Structure 1
């Protein structure tokens, strides 16, 4: 599961940076200065990268056996600026936490 987590973390950061670039730089340029060049180039790149993000999040969620709600929330994190960074930290914390299991009772 370590490789799936690494793949997810890398693509979460990439999607987050590209989305911030699109929203913070591209949108103001397009709507305030009538210059859509950043939106026209970064927008499709974000869409493609977001699909890779979805695949990585799905792969990780299946390997970690997450409930459907958690998987969907992590997948949606790539659509809101800055949230993918938060989700990446939370996911890493969930998966790096040592698993504590209750010992099985010994049959006599």
Structure 2
């Protein structure tokens, strides 16, 4: 399943993207509307760890398959956009790298 560097990157992107969505759409509302700030602390820490791993995965893929600057910046930028990793994943599936 995770044989190629792109497959590993896509999996890491999925994890990081889901953690961002959980942070924004579950943890933040629980903090502000239900009074549970601890949830943001926990989910935010997990998301932060996954984000750092995602950035390292971008570097790994860049060195393994010689990604262009456009792919590198796109991969980094989508990490800050909700559902961005899903869009990048679809583009990667259609690209010459997969």
> What's the TM-score once normalised by structure 1's chain length?
0.77
Aligned to 1:80: 81
Root-mean-square deviation over aligned CA pairs: 1.5
Q: Deviations over 1:40-85 (max 9, x none)?
A: 1010110111111111122223333233233112112122211111
Work out whether 1:24 is the aligned partner of 2:25: yes
Q: Shift of residue 86 of structure 1?
A: 1.0
Aligned to 1:104: none
Alignment of 1:1-108 (within 5 A): 2-94=3-95, 95-96=97-98
Gaps of 5+ in 1: 97-108
Q: 2:79 is paired with a residue of what secondary structure?
A: helix
Size of the aligned set, in residue pairs, is 95
Q: Is the 8 A contact 1:8 1:56 kept in 2?
A: yes
Gaps of 5+ in 2: none
Q: Shift of residue 8 of structure 1?
A: 0.4
Q: Is the 8 A contact 1:11 1:53 kept in 2?
A: yes
Q: Is the 8 A contact 1:5 1:92 kept in 2?
A: no
Larger radius of gyration between Structure 1 and Structure 2: 1
Structure 1 stretches of at least 4 aligned residues deviating more than 4 Å after TM superposition: none
Larger displacement relative to structure 2 (12-21 or 65-74): 65-74
